[in-house]
Structure 1
Amino acid sequence: MSDTTNTSFGDLFSTGQIRLAEISAYNWGSFHGLHTAVIDPEGTLITGDNGAGKSTLIDAHMALLNRPGQTSFNIAASQGDRSDRNLMSYIRGNYGTAHDGSQTLNLMKRDGATMTALRALYRADDGSEITLVSMFWIRQAGASMTDLKRFYLVGKRNVSLEVLLQQFGSNNVRQLKQYVDDDPMLKHFDNSFSAYQEYFTRLLRMENSNAPALLQRALGLKKIDDLTALIRELVLEPSKVRDLATGVVKEFDDLIAVHNELDTAKQQKEVLSILPDHNRNYESSLEEQGQVNSEAAGLTAFFGEQGNRLWGLRCEDLDRSLDDLTSDGKRLAESVSQNEERVTSLLHAYQQQGGDRLDSLRREVEDAERGFQTTTNKAHDYQKDTRDLGLAETLTASAVRDNIASAKAVLVDLPAQIDDAKNAFGESRGALSGITQQIKNLQAQISEIEKRPNSNIDAAFQRLRDEMVESLRLNKDGVVFIGELLDVRSTEARWRGAIERALGGHRTTLLVPEDKFRMVTGWVNSRHTGLHVRVQVVSKTERNPEFLGGGFLRKLKWKEHPYRDWLKRHLARFDLHCVDSTEVLNDTPYSMTREGLVHMEKGRFEKKDGTRVDDKKNWYLGFNNLSRLAALQEEGERLREGLDSARSDESVKRQEMDILVASEAIWKRVAQTLWDQIDVTLAKQHLDTLKNDLAALNAPDSDLSKAKALLELAKKELQEIRTAQNQNARAVGGFELEIRQANKSRQVSALAASAGLADAVRQSLSLRVGILTLEHLDKLNQLEKTQREFLDDALNSIGKRANHYNGRMIAIINSFKTKWPLVANDWLTTIEGRQDYIDYLDKLNNEGLPDLVERFQQRLNNNTTQSLGRMQRAIDDEREDIQDRIATINEVLERTEFNHGTFLRLKHEDEHYAHVKEFTALLGSVLKHASSVDHEARFLELCSLISKLEKATNSATAINLESQRLLDSRYRMTFYANEIVKETGAVRDVLRSSSGKSGGEKESFAGIIVAASLAYVLTPDGAPHPMYCTVFLDEAFSNTADKVSRRVLRVFRELKIHVNLITPYKNLNLARDSARSLIIAERKIDGHESRLSQITWDQLDQQSAERREAKQTQLAGVAEGLGIQMEQL
């Protein structure tokens, strides 16, 4: 066997039992100065009149064992109710109260700077001694515990208060500490009660932390109101599960930190995840843009090369055609020469026959015919003009002269009339054009509005908002105009215009959430919007707004929206009273009329009549645009009606102008007419004469006619050849011109091609344009223009695509930097800084996230889950420990008689609570899923569990029953006592408290339970009985028969408990059997001071006899004075 196994009880507890030997008090309550009471090892009775200081003395002992804030004084008198005594009242020596007419004052023996000292001397069976000392002092008047100084001391020898007080002197704490430090048998703890208590409980062998509290509770335990509470709080040791749970919560804080890091990394990855794709698309767009730019730059040179090639081919074709035409021209020239000779010969023959005279006459006839026709046409036009002007159309010289005079007279005023008509037409034409443009603009506006039916805000502002939302990837529901959240009640429609005017620019103010406004302001600042942009940040609101009683805000409908309450508070400061007349307006600051006149602060008025107050086109409020659309459509109908009128007016004005302009031309022709130009009769006579002469010469049977026929035939043939020759010459000229132009075009193309072209660009353009032939030659310029337009469109499209990805990346960069400014502190927010963010994403993917996932899983598995397992085992172990401890107490109870032939046995019942059941199930589920690979689900389940643990371990909620039931097995059980008949084992009674019992039965039950509990709590592990064994019972058997009381006291003795009694002058016979020494507490009424007297029972009996004799003598004297004869008994 090992040494440990062979260790005997005597080795472990060599000191034997430890008992209180002395109590000393200095300036404690009514004990002024230094007082010491000696406690007999066989028991001491402390007695005296009520208020003499019996409990005060024992409270000094309790103050040494229990924390000041947890010490209950005069507990026998208070019996659980609030005591009127506390540490400060004992230090001050309170003894009563007095009323000065305005307030109640405490009467005290020590009201200024004072010092209190307490001492307890304990002596073991082997003679070793332990001293506990507590010293309290305060340097000024007052009762604040914060002003109270403390000093705790433990000695492994007897230490007297006289010596310590001498060392302390006048607040010389340093000297006192030095004295203690110089003695290895002494140890001080300054004002740390916890360290002091931990040290003395170890020396006194109080291994159960409940011992000091149970000793205090036993002091005045006359009844047990709740057996469960007594066992939970004073018998069973406190649960340590809460400490384990606190550790789990702390470990979870580390897990939370790692999870937060992981969650942040995941969020960062989510924000940045699309950035590489956008960057690739952006760089691809830039590369494509460069390629297209190269093609666009080389397009002229490319088409120059193609043109130079094709024009060369064209020149070759033209040269071959020109050679053919030149040969044809030579042949035609020879034919012309031959035919000219023939015509000359025939002409000589014709002339010899009289042909010269005939030709001359023929020409004269032709001239006369043309002259007659001209004169006839002019006469016809003249007569038409005169008919149109209402003048005489007679063709006589006098009539013509009269008409010319009339025309000249009219032409004096006609230009001014024409100018007036032109001006009128111009005005009507401008009006028609204006109305047409208004209708066109209005229709475009209506089309734009119909696309956005859910807003009445001007389309330009909505387009700005849409662009912003898409660019910054905002939630559109969180970016709204104030006007979209408001509408005027239908019953208040007559106030619509005035309300719209009062709200003014607020209607188009853009509301943005507080966490997004920095992105919005940056976006707005970086571009020219062309609008008066207003942005308002929406913050949280904690109070409801108050509108004016007759204010326009009460005439509004408010859209259901998260910003609604905030908007009410925001607009409340702009509210205006609505009044019906200027008389009321003049006397009401901050008011307005339906017509839009506003009275601001007293004496300042304004009316914004830039637009009409009833102009619906300028109304922006509303949850949809139906009213605005209706107003615009109504305006369209009005404009279309005006368009018809304008068209009719323009047509009339045009007709009037055209008539005047036309009439001016006619009048001018009439005024410029000459008579000989329209004399038809004279022209006809001249033509007839010439025709008669020609007929005579052209008789068919004359030789002249035959010669003429041959000549005409030869001329015709010559003319035909000359025509062909002329056509050939023109063709040659055309080809020569075309060749020159082709060569010039070829030179131009060669010049364009001289700029040079990269092979790659030439190849890409060849693929883009295709193979060009001579068919495309005349279309080269158009083809180049078409290709350039295509490339320009492509560049525009690529630019938009690049800008799109640029904007997306800028939005991602801004979003990332806004959310994580410390990470991106030194990184640019422009497109040039994108690589930093991409590199960070790569680092996240390759290093950050895998490491965080591993750390998270490791902490989840190795730390938190394992700690929860330990906590679960601790809960189970504590439950088993409780059952074992109850069994140990029952062993003690079974050895003690409760009533004649019976003993008590403690039992427990499990209590079931929904939140405990839920917690237990959740804890079991967490531990069950410890091997699950779904770490996030485990974490969420763990979060739910930890939230319950946090509440249960939080200092503010840990002491409530819900938390205690969760973590402390004591609070999951209720306890009761069965009264068992020894002989049969039958249950005679079940006791959960003293309720329903007589006073004696209550005290008996309480005594037995307390004795057994003390025996259990004060007995160290491995010991057969308590090591520290001194207990005080204050008025414990005031209602119990002596026989029962003696049986209970016998239980204390059998359990090796050093019991001491405190009682007034009664039950002395009971005390005589249980206490060997006697201490009497006495109090001087006039000085409110107590003192102690230690006497024997014989001395007490003598004093009692003397008091009875004195009282008898006093009564006899009174009787004698009253004439009463008293008999001796």
Structure 2
Amino acid sequence: MTMLDTLFGLIPAESRGQQWVAEDLQLINWGGYDGGPHRVRFSPYATLLCGGSGSGKSTLMDAYIALMMPHTTPFNGASNGGITGRPRGDEQRNILSYGRGKIDESRTDEGTRLRVLRGDGEDTWTAIAMTWLDHDGSRFTALRAWYIPAAARILEDTVRVRATFDGFFDLSQLEEAASQRLADSALRTLGLETLGTDREFSARLHAVLGIGAAGSGAKAMSLLARIQAGQQITTVDDLYKRLVLEEPETMATADAVVAHFDELESTRTSMITARQQVNALEPIQGIRERIAAAAEQVRLIDEVGDFASPSSRATLWRAERRLDLLREVEAELRDRTHALDLTLREKKALVDAAEAERDGLLDLLRQSGGDRLETAQRELRAVERRLADVRRERDRFDAVLAELGLSASSADEFAKVQSEARAAQSEASARRQARATFAEAESARQSLAKRRRALAEERAEADRLRGSIPPALDRARMLLAEAAGLDVDDLPFVGELIEVRTEFEPWREAFNLALGGFATTLLIDDAHLARFRAAIDEVRLPMRLRYEGVQAGLAESPNGDGRTLPGRLDHRSTPFTGWLQQRLDERFAFVCVDSSSQLSAHTMALTITGQMSQGTRGAHGGHGRENVLGFSNERRLRALDEQAEALEAEVAAATAAVTEAEAAMDAIEQRSTAFAMIHGLTWEQIDVDSLTQELERWTAVEAEVTTANPEIAELRERAETLKVKAAVLRDEIGAVGAQRAEAQERWGAVTDDVDDCQRVVDEAESLSVDAAQAAFLDERFMLSSPSDAEGLSASERLARLDLALKSAAARLAADRRAAEEAHDEQRERMRQLMSSFLERWPNLNLLPDPDASVDDFLRILEALRANGLHELENEWRDSLLKLSGNDLTSLDSTLSRSVREIKERIEPINSIMRELPFYDDQHRLQISPRESQSEARKRFRRDLREVRGLIEAASTDDEREHAYKRMSRLIGRMRRSAPDFAELIDVRNHVRVSAERVLAATGEHVALYDHIGEKSGGESQELVAFIVGAALRYQLGDAGASHPRYAPVFMDEALIKADAHFTKRAIGAWRGLGFQLVIGAPNDKYSAIEPHVDVEYTILKDTRGRSWAKPKVAVGE
């Protein structure tokens, strides 16, 4: 838009600096204004539209809004201050509802149905046009039209027309274009200039009609819309902020700061996400390699096969490796055999030389008297051997005697011991008695142990039971219940339903005896009796059970006479209890008496010992029977615990008896065994003293010969040395011979092995072991490195290989299992990694399939690495701090500037109002701004400066991270959703505005106008007219002109709360400011307005919902 610099500021070039007034408004098919065109002509000064509620006044006003205002301006603002939802949305009046002429809604079986004047199941159209008149007679028309298809649900489904015309345009000319769905070509044929967007349309209107200074037409139209809505306002501050001030720049600046931060933060978040994704995906390559390695391991093992198979690669590898080693061993054994042959020849020669020398020495020794010495030495050696044997036997004999507590140092004493031994062998009766005693004690102990186990089982089963009924009876009941398909609770024993009252506990045994078998009778509902009998007929029980069908559900009675047996019992509440109480009263109403002498005094009586009488009959005995009465199993468990404690003492005593009998039997057996050991001995076998004397005699002979001829000892020593040497050499010859034989045998075996391995290799001509297979088998079964083989012979290396090959099959199987497990484990780990990745970052194009999707995941990883986002986080954070720090600086300055601008904007408005009399000719109205302070705003501004300082001073990662967190919290307070956003950012809240009446001549203060609600309706309307009218002149860019360039001001339900005097002054204020007024008012509230308008229309509506405007005072032709 081209602007001209004038005395009044920048104004549109196309505006001629004069005034446009609304001449007339045309409607076709708009709301209740069906058909048309409907035409309303306006006075250049003031026009009144009056009518009843719902007649269509606001519909006319909304037509002006639909034509002139942006789509964010809601309809019917004056009547519906409490409306919610999006402006012109489904919940409010909108173009579609006006175009179809919505009447109301009704509920049908299909849902809510609209009642409309037109467009129900068919296409329709609507149009609005306004013509303005300039002072020179020029006219300008703007129109909007909508073609609404039957299926249209939202505005975007319609054909929208925005057009202007230089001059007056009759809307009836659109009929032909409407038949062509308002095609652009048809509109241009009519001379209309169409515009494609709302922005272009508004710019055209603002340019031609001169709306707004410096291109701020949108602000002027926004103020006109707020004036037209005429919402209730209570203070001058609220009036000025809602009707004059637009949304401050600070809010847009804060939004920009937040948006900038969020944009950079979003990038940072993307980088963090990328880093997390890279970290999550990086293990995939390693896992894939491990999966491949495990699969390759399995493949290699499968390819080499089993060592047990003669045609496998493993067998061929074994043959080749053993063949190489066997040939080395063969050469080694050949060399060893030759070396052993040489050693044998050498040692045989040494033996022959030693024996020849010894023979010469022996001849010399015999010539020197050595025969007698040799005899003495021979006898001496024989005696030493016999003495050693006798001593061993004597030691054993003395140990046996020590066990028996006996001794024998002479032949006579030995004879006595032998007699005792023979007597001990005949003590068979003592042994039998000891064995019998042991067997009897052991039998008693086992019997008690069996009783203890049975008692423990009974205790466990009793713990399961609820009452005192024996387990055997309970098991029988369970069999019957299972056969009959009943629950155990449906078959109670009588004893389970009754309990002896605590104060009568001493009578428990007597009551058990008196009730007898009735206490163990099963009760069953007689409704189930026939089915029960049929079901249990085939059941075999080890004991006989009595049952009785009873009437269930009878009412229970309170406890009876405490002197009788039934009165001394408590009853568990069940369906059978009522019947049981009756039966006890009928059959067991025994009177409990203190002594037998009282039995005859009653028809039925019972003593505490259990004797009972029934007339002349009676019964006694049976004491010691188990208790079967009681709800709880506590009494039975206590009794069983007492039995178990007593039984433990018996078991301990029996165990001690067994130990004692066993010890006695062992003593007898030990004595018999000991005597058996010495029974066959003779005195000569243990007579050490006699042999000791003989040894001393031969030792003396040897000493005598040696002393007589000293040379004999030397000769004999030399001969003995040669003898030992020859013996040693012969042993060595034997050892070397054995080694040679072993080597020879080993050589033969190795030769056979070589032949076998060569045969395996020859037979496997079509089979080969590749390098990978050979390397795998070498690593598993050969020495791991040359350093390990260093110093080992070929035989040792072959032995190690054969030892390793013994477990080769098991090791290969274990290796294969381990590889398979590793493969499965790594695949599962891969799947879990993929699943975890997709849970955090869903991707419908990916599946957690370790086989099919691994390449896709790796491509994602490569893309992330190529992108490099994950490595730029620190750089982006620094950039974020720098840029956002600049934004904070901009916001801080904008906050200060915006408060200053609010104050500055008031001065032009005050200048306008200084020329307008207010209250009377001597007074003027002025607006007074006052900046307000709050601790929250001070702290916010201080935080802005501190965070900027932190950002500038940050030099380390920790400091930058701290500054970033502080800034993030600060940005959070700038968001529109923040609770203190309006307090901190909306600078309109930083200034308090009031009005004051001053003297025109001096500007002296006369009166303060703060709360509009304190004034009368007329005074408040006059005040609003002055303030808003002056502000509108400023917004329109006409502050210094005699008249505003754009004059129309529409006011819906305004000026209706004042009397004629104040209404006149309010209208006078608007007209004095040069505005053209179009006022809407209800029928009962327009009387004060009517005298001050030039044109008046009455808005009417018929019973079918159609509206029209009837001139009451029309515009003169």
**Which residue in 2 is equivalent to 1:24?**
26
**Which residue in 2 is equivalent to 1:215?**
224
Describe the shift of the 1:235–1:946 C-alpha distance in structure 2 as closer, same or farther (beyond 3 A).
farther
- For residues 945-966 of structure 1, the C-alpha deviation after alignment (integer angstroms, 9 at most, x for no partner) is 5566568656xx48xx743344
Describe the shift of the 1:112–1:95 C-alpha distance in structure 2 as closer, same or farther (beyond 3 A).
closer
Aligned amino acid, residue 186 of structure 1: E
**Which residue in 2 is equivalent to 1:1078?**
1095
Quick one: distance in 1 between partners of 2:944 and 2:151? Answer: 55
**Which residue in 2 is equivalent to 1:725?**
719
Quick one: distance in 1 between partners of 2:438 and 2:714? Answer: 58
> Of the candidates 38, 41, 63, which is equivalent to residue 38 of structure 1?
41
Superposition map of 1:909-920 within 5 A: 909-912=930-933, 916-920=937-941
Q: Is the 8 A contact 1:74 1:85 kept in 2?
A: no
Quick one: distance in 2 between partners of 1:651 and 1:727? Answer: 65
**Which residue in 2 is equivalent to 1:155?**
164
Quick one: distance in 1 between partners of 2:273 and 2:104? Answer: 66
How far off its partner does 1:126 sit?
A: 5.3
Q: Is the 8 A contact 1:218 1:1032 kept in 2?
A: yes
Q: Is the 8 A contact 1:814 1:829 kept in 2?
A: yes
Describe the shift of the 1:1000–1:376 C-alpha distance in structure 2 as closer, same or farther (beyond 3 A).
closer
Superposition map of 1:665-704 within 5 A: 666=675
1:120 corresponds to 2:153? no
Describe the shift of the 1:811–1:16 C-alpha distance in structure 2 as closer, same or farther (beyond 3 A).
same
Describe the shift of the 1:951–1:907 C-alpha distance in structure 2 as closer, same or farther (beyond 3 A).
same
Q: Is the 8 A contact 1:112 1:139 kept in 2?
A: no
**Which residue in 1 is equivalent to 2:878?**
857
Quick one: distance in 1 between partners of 2:1073 and 2:655? Answer: 124
Superposition map of 1:340-739 within 5 A: 340-343=366-369, 383-390=416-423, 583=489, 656=665, 659-660=668-669, 663=672, 666=675, 721-722=715-716, 724-734=718-728, 737=731
Which secondary structure state, in structure 1, belongs to the residue aligned with residue 1074 of structure 2? coil
1:933 corresponds to 2:927? no
How far off its partner does 1:909 sit?
A: 3.4
How far off its partner does 1:55 sit?
A: 5.2
Structure 1 range deviating more: 264-273 or 895-904: 264-273
- For residues 31-56 of structure 1, the C-alpha deviation after alignment (integer angstroms, 9 at most, x for no partner) is 44422122233444556788876555
**Which residue in 2 is equivalent to 1:563?**
none
Quick one: distance in 2 between partners of 1:823 and 1:227? Answer: 56
How far off its partner does 1:968 sit?
A: 2.9
**Which residue in 2 is equivalent to 1:967?**
985
**Which residue in 2 is equivalent to 1:1019?**
1037
How far off its partner does 1:890 sit?
A: 1.9
Describe the shift of the 1:818–1:894 C-alpha distance in structure 2 as closer, same or farther (beyond 3 A).
same
Superposition map of 1:8-19 within 5 A: 11=13, 13-14=15-16, 16-19=18-21
Aligned amino acid, residue 1091 of structure 1: A
How far off its partner does 1:1040 sit?
A: 4.8
Aligned amino acid, residue 22 of structure 2: L
Quick one: distance in 1 between partners of 2:872 and 2:1104? Answer: 79
**Which residue in 1 is equivalent to 2:569?**
none
How far off its partner does 1:857 sit?
A: 3.1
Aligned amino acid, residue 420 of structure 2: R
How far off its partner does 1:140 sit?
A: 6.8
How far off its partner does 1:226 sit?
A: 3.1
How far off its partner does 1:321 sit?
A: 13
Aligned amino acid, residue 994 of structure 1: I
Q: Is the 8 A contact 1:210 1:233 kept in 2?
A: no
How far off its partner does 1:337 sit?
A: 1.4
How far off its partner does 1:235 sit?
A: 1.5
Which secondary structure state, in structure 2, belongs to the residue aligned with residue 988 of structure 1? strand
**Which residue in 2 is equivalent to 1:987?**
1005
How far off its partner does 1:341 sit?
A: 2.9
Describe the shift of the 1:985–1:765 C-alpha distance in structure 2 as closer, same or farther (beyond 3 A).
farther
How far off its partner does 1:892 sit?
A: 1.7
How far off its partner does 1:744 sit?
A: 8.4
**Which residue in 2 is equivalent to 1:542?**
none
How far off its partner does 1:1023 sit?
A: 7.7
Describe the shift of the 1:860–1:183 C-alpha distance in structure 2 as closer, same or farther (beyond 3 A).
farther
Quick one: distance in 2 between partners of 1:323 and 1:650? Answer: 73
How far off its partner does 1:1008 sit?
A: 1.0
Aligned amino acid, residue 853 of structure 1: N
How far off its partner does 1:1009 sit?
A: 1.4
How far off its partner does 1:1057 sit?
A: 2.2
Aligned amino acid, residue 1090 of structure 1: W
Quick one: distance in 2 between partners of 1:749 and 1:416? Answer: 67
Describe the shift of the 1:209–1:234 C-alpha distance in structure 2 as closer, same or farther (beyond 3 A).
farther
Quick one: distance in 1 between partners of 2:914 and 2:157? Answer: 48
Aligned amino acid, residue 67 of structure 2: L
Aligned amino acid, residue 737 of structure 1: D
Which secondary structure state, in structure 2, belongs to the residue aligned with residue 209 of structure 1? helix
**Which residue in 2 is equivalent to 1:626?**
none
Quick one: distance in 2 between partners of 1:324 and 1:1097? Answer: 164
1:1092 corresponds to 2:1110? yes
Aligned amino acid, residue 734 of structure 1: V
Quick one: distance in 2 between partners of 1:1065 and 1:1013? Answer: 31
1:1030 corresponds to 2:1048? yes
- For residues 363-406 of structure 1, the C-alpha deviation after alignment (integer angstroms, 9 at most, x for no partner) is xxx9xx99xx9999998666424313536xxxxxxxxxxx9xx6
Quick one: distance in 2 between partners of 1:90 and 1:710? Answer: 160
How far off its partner does 1:808 sit?
A: 14
**Which residue in 1 is equivalent to 2:143?**
133
Q: Is the 8 A contact 1:810 1:829 kept in 2?
A: yes
**Which residue in 2 is equivalent to 1:469?**
none
Q: Is the 8 A contact 2:240 2:1027 kept in 1?
A: no
1:902 corresponds to 2:923? yes
**Which residue in 1 is equivalent to 2:913?**
893
How far off its partner does 1:840 sit?
A: 8.9
Describe the shift of the 1:829–1:330 C-alpha distance in structure 2 as closer, same or farther (beyond 3 A).
farther
Describe the shift of the 1:90–1:273 C-alpha distance in structure 2 as closer, same or farther (beyond 3 A).
closer
Could you tell me the TM-score, scaled by structure 2's length? 0.52
Q: Is the 8 A contact 2:14 2:207 kept in 1?
A: no
Quick one: distance in 1 between partners of 2:156 and 2:678? Answer: 129
1:256 corresponds to 2:277? no
Structure 1 range deviating more: 937-946 or 875-884: 937-946
Superposition map of 1:39-438 within 5 A: 39-46=42-49, 56-66=59-69, 70-73=73-76, 75=78, 86=93, 112=120, 115-125=125-135, 127-135=137-145, 149=158, 151-158=160-167, 160=169, 162-169=171-178, 172=179, 174-181=181-188, 185-187=192-194, 197=202, 200-201=205-206, 203-204=208-209, 205-206=211-212, 207-219=216-228, 221=230, 224-263=233-272, 333-343=359-369, 383-390=416-423
Quick one: distance in 1 between partners of 2:683 and 2:1099? Answer: 169
How far off its partner does 1:860 sit?
A: 4.3
How far off its partner does 1:225 sit?
A: 1.6
- For residues 715-772 of structure 1, the C-alpha deviation after alignment (integer angstroms, 9 at most, x for no partner) is 99758744652343124422553587589899999999x9xxx9998989999x9xxx
Quick one: distance in 1 between partners of 2:702 and 2:82? Answer: 166
How far off its partner does 1:990 sit?
A: 2.5
Q: Is the 8 A contact 2:99 2:148 kept in 1?
A: no
Quick one: distance in 2 between partners of 1:916 and 1:749? Answer: 107
Describe the shift of the 1:330–1:224 C-alpha distance in structure 2 as closer, same or farther (beyond 3 A).
same
Quick one: distance in 2 between partners of 1:78 and 1:1048? Answer: 24
**Which residue in 1 is equivalent to 2:378?**
none
Quick one: distance in 2 between partners of 1:139 and 1:376? Answer: 143
Quick one: distance in 1 between partners of 2:411 and 2:1027? Answer: 153
How far off its partner does 1:255 sit?
A: 2.6
Aligned amino acid, residue 187 of structure 1: T
How far off its partner does 1:21 sit?
A: 1.5
Q: How many residue pairs get matched?
A: 765
Describe the shift of the 1:840–1:1090 C-alpha distance in structure 2 as closer, same or farther (beyond 3 A).
closer
Aligned amino acid, residue 886 of structure 1: I
Describe the shift of the 1:30–1:850 C-alpha distance in structure 2 as closer, same or farther (beyond 3 A).
closer
Q: Report % sequence identity.
A: 17
Quick one: distance in 1 between partners of 2:491 and 2:203? Answer: 82
Describe the shift of the 1:808–1:1097 C-alpha distance in structure 2 as closer, same or farther (beyond 3 A).
closer
How far off its partner does 1:1016 sit?
A: 2.0
RMSD: 7.5
Quick one: distance in 2 between partners of 1:820 and 1:98? Answer: 53
Describe the shift of the 1:416–1:1011 C-alpha distance in structure 2 as closer, same or farther (beyond 3 A).
same
